[in-house]
A and B are shown apart, each in its own frame.
Chain A
């Protein structure tokens, strides 16, 4: 028999994370941050760091928790449930890159600082032609003497505002990409916030003649995409767990509302048209949850089907979250669009996370390739 139960440690982690999110970042706080255009709270980040979350996947040797991917997924599911805004996914993703592709010196310098929450790192990969394949990267890193000089513009970069360091993917060769660790304060780096859907903030990162010493190169020259791919898969699976948590919460909010709200002399949950929406919401939420954990499990086993499982999960999660938020607005009517009620925060996430780390169409193309179609 399959066994989908969490271990008792994972249950503890889940409860701790749920309590933390409710206590530290309730709806009123989310609303305040959104209203004031704040996407990062140092105070909140420090508290998350005190719980060891930025270093959850960093090995103990470098001051991290050395936890399993399933543990991390349990955490992300809870963060998604409460839509906790933080650069945690970006930072964990970059920590994994440093751990896997970096040299000892880079690990020793950066990983303990990341685990302590002292460094926030973001991945600057996508550009104007948004996409998550190597072909989409046009920024260049040109060798000049010992240095690699980066030129290009990164667009739709998440968490570049709160980060103090960027991992930049740049072309060092017609067919090869290289990853570079770029200090945000380095000369030629300019980070500009870009306003997006319903007040969401993304970042443009302009890189003009940014000179990097060889110590800033992360991993092998020209082989950056090979290093990035498995890490993107892990980050995508964790993002799916986050989406699954958010989706579940939208289900609970919508069902609860339909059971309380009375029209025509009865709770609207009695109407089958409304029930149809609630059923769709739950179907999408359950699909997101179990495909996410399946992907995590496959990654943990290093199974040959892991890439496919990740793409299945992201295609299901992105499409499902988007559609279930639409359905939640059908259930709610006017109150769903009233910002104080808070549903829109989930809807906003369903839009902004739809393409992040690969759209459903991107992942379906990958599935087709993996199925040898």
Chain B
């Protein structure tokens, strides 16, 4: 058993040589890229600066470094590609927010890779994988949240186009996007799930109205209404009826794109909180010590389970429940962490005032973010459903 990530001597040589290259390149191009801990405070100017940086990263294939070159990646092995993440993390403040969560494009790339035609892959993948475009996922509808397949948006074929009607909500991210990935009903007579098709469309469809939702934390969200919006037929991914498959292959998380999904911020948060408590002499209180030690144990448990997943994934072993288990654990951990910080720091934990707030308001933000994170990618209850389905399928009892 080995809990450490080990590299062969050859991998070490390769990685360190590559690190020199990455460092030199970032030294030249990363200037000005970065984000505040609270993405709400990201200015439009900074957003554009970050976009420009991500495009430059994409030109080298480093935005989706493990993807093949012909699709816009760099064809690197995971071991070597990890160097990019390590260096970005070391250099760029709050790097996970450089790339707002709704903007990543991983799911649509996964869907294209799984069911897109060769022509579609060549047309749509490179701009996504080079970080040239922002692609929003439009899934949730007013009546279709946890029960996504009951969505009502309708795409009707008329000649070379689909006529799109419906409402998507809690979608999108900061500012604007260039393309959109969504599901709509193409065959109202077909059984549940088989009635859906997946589309990748431009973001400036006529007949589209965008309004904004103010969220507790994280990136801003939108409601988008489509009224007789015309979509070219070539925007259909795969064939009609493949929508549910497209959604699931996108959500599998196997298609790593961009900066965000690599990163695990929890480790940094824990370290920051502990350091703050040490320096502010809060931690002399035995109650505070116990609260922090409890959350530290939880954190280590989650870390071990993620390492186990990494190991299982690397061996190709089946993971009937483990993915949902760690996703569930992470959501609950976010809430528990907020509670522990609140308990340890008292009302100080809630301060946002730039002069008085601990860690420049980061803790206040984590608390809001912990609550917000209960829903994206499926609520805690949905993760439990997924997990139990896997547990029963495992059937070792």
Pick the interface stretch among B2-10, B154-162, B195-203, B357-365: B2-10
From residue B281, how far is it (CB to closest CB) to chain A in Å? Answer: 10
> In the complex, which residues of chain B have a beta carbon less than 8 angstroms from the beta carbon of A195?
none
Residue B278, interface by CB 8 Å: yes
Residue A276, interface by CB 8 Å: yes
Residue B190, interface by CB 8 Å: no
B278, A279: Cβ atoms closer than 8 Å: no
- Known contacts A278-B391, A282-B325, A294-B304: A252-B397 contact under CB 8 Å: yes
Q: Report the separation of the CA atoms of residues A133 and B315 in the bound assembly, to the nearest whole angstrom.
A: 43
> In the complex, which residues of chain A have a beta carbon less than 8 angstroms from the beta carbon of B277?
373
Q: Which of A255, A287, A297, A315 contacts B1 (CB 8 A)?
A: A297
From residue B324, how far is it (CB to closest CB) to chain A in Å? Answer: 9
B311, A367: Cβ atoms closer than 8 Å: no
B311, A3: Cβ atoms closer than 8 Å: yes
> In the complex, which residues of chain B have a beta carbon less than 8 angstroms from the beta carbon of A291?
300-301, 304
> In the complex, which residues of chain A have a beta carbon less than 8 angstroms from the beta carbon of B292?
368, 371, 373
B297, A290: Cβ atoms closer than 8 Å: no
- Known contacts A287-B305, A290-B308: A279-B387 contact under CB 8 Å: yes
Q: Report the separation of the CA atoms of residues A5 and B290 in the bound assembly, to the nearest whole angstrom.
A: 34
0 or 1 for each of A337-373: is its CB under 8 Å from B? (1 = yes): 0000000000000000000000001001101100111
A-B contact count (CB 8 A): 122
Residue A253, interface by CB 8 Å: yes
Residue B127, interface by CB 8 Å: no
Number of interface residues of B (CB under 8 A): 41
> In the complex, which residues of chain B have a beta carbon less than 8 angstroms from the beta carbon of A293?
1, 3
Q: Report the separation of the CA atoms of residues A156 and B109 in the bound assembly, to the nearest whole angstrom.
A: 61
B397, A259: Cβ atoms closer than 8 Å: yes
Residue A269, interface by CB 8 Å: yes
Q: Which of B3, B278, B305, B392 contacts A372 (CB 8 A)?
A: B278
A283, B297: Cβ atoms closer than 8 Å: no
B2, A368: Cβ atoms closer than 8 Å: no
A315, B297: Cβ atoms closer than 8 Å: yes
B305, A286: Cβ atoms closer than 8 Å: yes
0 or 1 for each of A115-151: is its CB under 8 Å from B? (1 = yes): 0000000000000000000000000000000000000
A2, B289: Cβ atoms closer than 8 Å: no
0 or 1 for each of B286-329: is its CB under 8 Å from A? (1 = yes): 10111011101100110011011011001100000100010011
From residue A21, how far is it (CB to closest CB) to chain B in Å? Answer: 17
Residue A264, interface by CB 8 Å: no
0 or 1 for each of A252-275: is its CB under 8 Å from B? (1 = yes): 110110010000000001001001
Residue B165, interface by CB 8 Å: no
From B78, which residue of chain A is reached at the shortest CB distance? A1
> In the complex, which residues of chain B have a beta carbon less than 8 angstroms from the beta carbon of A373?
274, 277-278, 283, 288-289, 292-293
From residue A322, how far is it (CB to closest CB) to chain B in Å? Answer: 14
B290, A2: Cβ atoms closer than 8 Å: no
What are 25 A-B residue pairs whose CB atoms fall within 8 Å in the complex?
A1-B6, A1-B310, A2-B2, A2-B3, A2-B307, A2-B310, A4-B2, A4-B307, A4-B311, A252-B397, A259-B392, A259-B397, A275-B384, A283-B328, A293-B3, A312-B300, A316-B300, A316-B301, A364-B290, A364-B297, A367-B296, A368-B289, A372-B278, A373-B278, A373-B283
**Which residues on A are within 8 Å of B, measured CB to CB?**
1-6, 70, 251-253, 255-256, 259, 269, 272, 275-276, 278-279, 282-283, 286-287, 290-291, 293-294, 296-298, 309, 312, 315-316, 361, 364-365, 367-368, 371-373
**Which residues on B are within 8 Å of A, measured CB to CB?**
1-6, 274, 277-278, 283, 286, 288-290, 292-294, 296-297, 300-301, 304-305, 307-308, 310-311, 314-315, 321, 325, 328-329, 384-385, 387-388, 391-392, 396-397
The 3 closest A-B pairs by CB, nearest first: A364-B293, A290-B304, A373-B283
Known contacts A290-B305, A294-B3, A316-B300; 16 additional CB pairs below 8 A are A2-B308, A2-B310, A4-B1, A251-B397, A255-B391, A255-B392, A282-B325, A291-B301, A293-B1, A297-B2, A315-B293, A315-B297, A316-B297, A364-B289, A367-B297, A372-B278
